[in-house]
Amino acid sequence: MADPTPTPTPTRPLTRAGVQAARDLIAPYIHTTPILTNATLSRLASTPQPPSSTGVPRPARPTLRLWFKCENLQRIGAFKVRGAFHAIEQLKRSPAEWAATQSRGVVTHSSGNHAQALALAAQTSGIPAHIVMPSISAAPKIAATRGYGASVVFSGSTSTEREAAVAELVAATGARLIPPYDHPDIILGQGTMGLEMLEQVAGLIAAADAADTTDGDEPSGVNEQDRPPPRTLDAIITPCGGGGMLSGVALSCEGTSTRVFGAEPSFEDADDGKRGYYSGRRIETVKSLTIADGLRTPVGAIPWSIIYERRLVAGMYSVSEDEIKAALRLVYERMKLVVEPSAVVGLAVALYNEDFRAMVEREAGDAGWDLGLVFSGGNVSLEALGNLFAEP
């Protein structure tokens, strides 16, 4: 018998405390991915662009110290496991729901990282997973999803065809739908990376400060309660596709002094989030073939409510395909890290977006900002990379 309410109702408040609770739930299943820095990239970000490339007479002069959260080194090679594991752990909290899910399984539609993430999370808990993928999906992605024990069901490539296939599956199996981003448990799960970033960078800054101090003694007369809170990130930029990560990270920083920004590709109007944010109205369809293929989706309704309606995101910025490629090249050549094109849109904003850079110069002054950037994933085939960069 099919479950009449396939989408679970929110079980957690969409708050920073909700993200903290999610973190405890998923801790056994995910990696605490490293934070890396790179002196060359921080220097480049702190160097004015050539005036010829900016079209402005005086390019901005921000000071930016970059901190990279390496979710490309996360399990399945992308942050998406955070939300997937959290959604399944939440189901376990209701014995009745869990009993039903154990026999009927979970279902989603994704041609990308969410497919593998949900497949792994389902396999880990021993429940069936049904993944609807467009029949034109790359063979390695299909193989990887099946490799985690999921059953793959093919559909056409349009969202209508995809949703019809999901509805059919839900009707036939009673499996529970775990959507890729427009769901509270997914958002809270993705937000856990924000908490890690604030803590990890605070620790790294404190360690660097301690190493800089020649005299290790505490100044006399300073009481524990008089100390300022530990210094950490002034801001975080995350990529924004459906907005699950961006809204989750925004929740993780609510009530702190860390501002959160979103980054998108501008190619073929993939910057729906930015256009919606500045026009005050969510844009519900996107049809772009940007190389940042994880960011071809419009922002979902629940992410939107956090990003825009609650104003937890301080601004949205977009970058061109060439800027994404240039940032990608720098990460490969300077950091020796494999990242997918979607992962570097935040870095591209920090390096090339004059609106962002001028804002940082204005807001941060000479002190500059410690800026966190999320390398969201590293799942790019060598063929796709080759097609992007091979000489003609």
Using an 8 Å Cβ cutoff, are 189 and 86 in contact?
yes
> Is 257 known to be catalytic?
no
Total number of residues binding a second copy (CB under 8 A)?
23
Site membership for a second copy, residue 382 (CB under 8 A): yes
- 138 or 364: whose CB is closer to a second copy? 138
Q: Coil, strand or helix: which one is 134?
A: strand
Long-range contacts of 46-52 (CB under 8 A, 24+ apart): 46/368, 49/352, 49/354, 49/357
Site membership for a second copy, residue 388 (CB under 8 A): yes
- 182 or 323: whose CB is closer to a second copy? 323
Please report the DSSP string for 165-187 in residue order: HHHHHHHHH-PEE--SSSSHHHH
Site membership for a second copy, residue 378 (CB under 8 A): yes
Q: Which amino acid is at 33?
A: T
Taking contact as CB under 8 A, which single stretch among the options 150-158, 248-256, 311-319, 377-385 is the one that binds a second copy? 377-385
Site membership for a second copy, residue 383 (CB under 8 A): yes
Nearest distance, CB of residue 380 and a second copy, angstroms = 9
Largest CA distance in the chain: 71
- 227 or 336: whose CB is closer to a second copy? 336
Which one of 7, 103, 257, 381 is in contact with a second copy (CB under 8 A)? 381
Using an 8 Å Cβ cutoff, are 327 and 351 in contact?
yes
Among 110, 111, 137, 288, the active-site one is 111
End-to-end CA distance of the chain: 56
Interface with a second copy in residues 322-351 (CB under 8 A): 328-329, 332-333, 335-339
Which one of 217, 224, 366, 391 is in contact with a second copy (CB under 8 A)? 391
Residues 6+ apart with CB under 8 A from 13: none
Which one of 59, 77, 239, 341 is in contact with a second copy (CB under 8 A)? 77
- 72 or 111: whose CB is closer to a second copy? 72
Nearest distance, CB of residue 336 and a second copy, angstroms = 4
* Distance (Å, whole) CA 253 – CA 307: 12
Q: Which amino acid is at 333?
A: E
Residues 6+ apart with CB under 8 A from 253: 16, 194, 198, 236, 259, 260, 312
- 98 or 332: whose CB is closer to a second copy? 332
Interface with a second copy in residues 16-75 (CB under 8 A): 72-73
CA angle 104, 109, 115 (to 5 degrees): 85
> Is 80 known to be catalytic?
yes
Taking contact as CB under 8 A, which single stretch among the options 6-14, 168-176, 197-205, 379-387 is the one that binds a second copy? 379-387
* Site of interaction with a second copy (CB under 8 A): 72-73, 77, 328-329, 332-333, 335-339, 378, 381-383, 385-391
Q: Annotated catalytic sites, by residue?
A: 80, 111
